[in-house]
Amino acid sequence: MARRWTSCALACVAVSAFAPPSTRIALRHTTRRATPELEAPPDIRWLAKLNPQQPDREPSGANGTMVLPLFPLGAVAYTPGSTQVLNIFEPRYRKMYSDILMSGGRRFVTTMVNSEDSDTLAEVGVVLYLEDLKEVSQQTNDAVKYVCSHKVLDSRVRIKHVLNEGDSRTRETYLRCEVEELVDDDETDEESSEVSQLEAAVRDSLRDVADMQDQGKEDVRFSRDAVGKLEASRGVGSGSLWGVVELWKNFLDARAQAAGRRVQQDVQNRLIKYLSEKNGGSGDKQLPQSVNLSELPADLQRDVRTLRDRVMEDVGPLVEEQTSGVQRLVQASSHAERLRLFERMVANEKNRLLARKTLRNTLASLEDKFNAPAAEKPSSDEGKSS
């Protein structure tokens, strides 16, 4: 499977690294202490674990329900209104695409998979609509059958039943599920004053973040001009909260990639230095293209592992927000609840930026003290009468 992110060139700016690695290591601990305790987010609602021994069941046919193919795409949460591109290679999903083309429905459900148990699926998912399909089996030597472009529809669904749980183990065919559309509790003709206030709060928080990122010269930051034009209304597309959430996902992804690049460069520099010294400092001998970690000295192995752990510690919270954080927005029962949850995500970023600013000011103050000239001492004759 391949995935295409919507470009965030209009609202995100990537710049060179701001702080040296040693500062970044200290920052992680400072950030945790500075972040205030926020109300715990709601739990993700999961279906019962898929039972491969469960016989196939018939749909209930209840009013308001429908049966759609189910394509779990891993620990990923998709936002309504976004565009997703998938590479299709498994036989069961090749069959699924053939079926939805033949039926004319062109739709299927996808939902988040529990990262700790692949047989556990989120109760609330989204519907993908197939917009374009390209046959690429000849170009890929049949490694990939189709490259498919989809629009995530503005309709979330609650999965009532997986109808053929046994096929989750045999993989002989794709899963099917009975679903019902999930409608916001607060969906009315006119937005309430509470919703309007929450939308305004989200806009203000995003502008605060953009200002703080710009002042701190963050590696990845929002454009203040672009953020000033964002809205957080109901629905999908330009001016919608879902559009902002997709932009936020892109921002988190860019931050994760930047963190990975910094650590990768650090590891590469250390390895090049070690290999150059091993070759006697001569640049004539070509360095190897790859090195096994076990072949390195113990202290260098330890440094590489520390750097690897550091990037995982930095990236972990970003992945959590991109997946579980967005899934909580998808399963929210109202637009107002989504606004509150998203503002909480933005508040986490504000707290991180505030902690970084505090740390910078503290380090600058210490540097000023260390660099200040020593106070002049009085001479031994000072104060004596002539």
Burial class (CB in 10 A: 0-12, 13-18, 19+), 370: exposed
Report pLDDT digits (tens) over 352-374: 899 988 888 887 777 777 776 76
Which pair of tokens denotes residue 258? 């930047």
pLDDT in tens, 78-127: 999 999 999 999 999 999 999 999 999 999 999 999 999 999 999 999 99
Is pLDDT at 11 greater than 60 in this prediction? no
What's the Cα-to-Cα distance from 225 to each of 13, 68, 210, 221, 231, rounded to whole Å? Answer: 12, 42, 9, 12, 13
Residue 318, SS3 per DSSP: helix
Pick the closest to residue 338 from 83, 77, 59, 34 (CA basis).
77
pLDDT classification of 227: cutoffs 50, 70, 90: very high
DSSP SS3 for 66: strand
Q: In the predicted model, what is the mean pLDDT of residues 190-219?
A: 92
For the full predicted model, state whether its pTM sits above 0.75: yes
What are the DSSP calls for 323-337, one per residue? IIIHHHHHH-SSHHH
- Neighbouring-strand partners of residue 113: 121
Give the mean model confidence (pLDDT) for residues 250-264: 89
* Helix (H) or strand (E) segment spanning residue 115: none
Amino acid at 312: M
> Is pLDDT at 386 greater than 70 in this prediction?
no
Question: Mean per-residue pLDDT for 12-26?
Answer: 34
**Mean pLDDT across the stretch 63-75?**
97
State the chain's mean pLDDT as an integer.
84
Per-residue pLDDT band at 289 (split at 50, 70, 90): confident
- Domains, the chain, in order of start with CATH, read 12-40+189-281+291-367 (no CATH), 65-182 (2.30.130.40)
Residue 134 near residue 147, CB atoms below 8 Å = yes
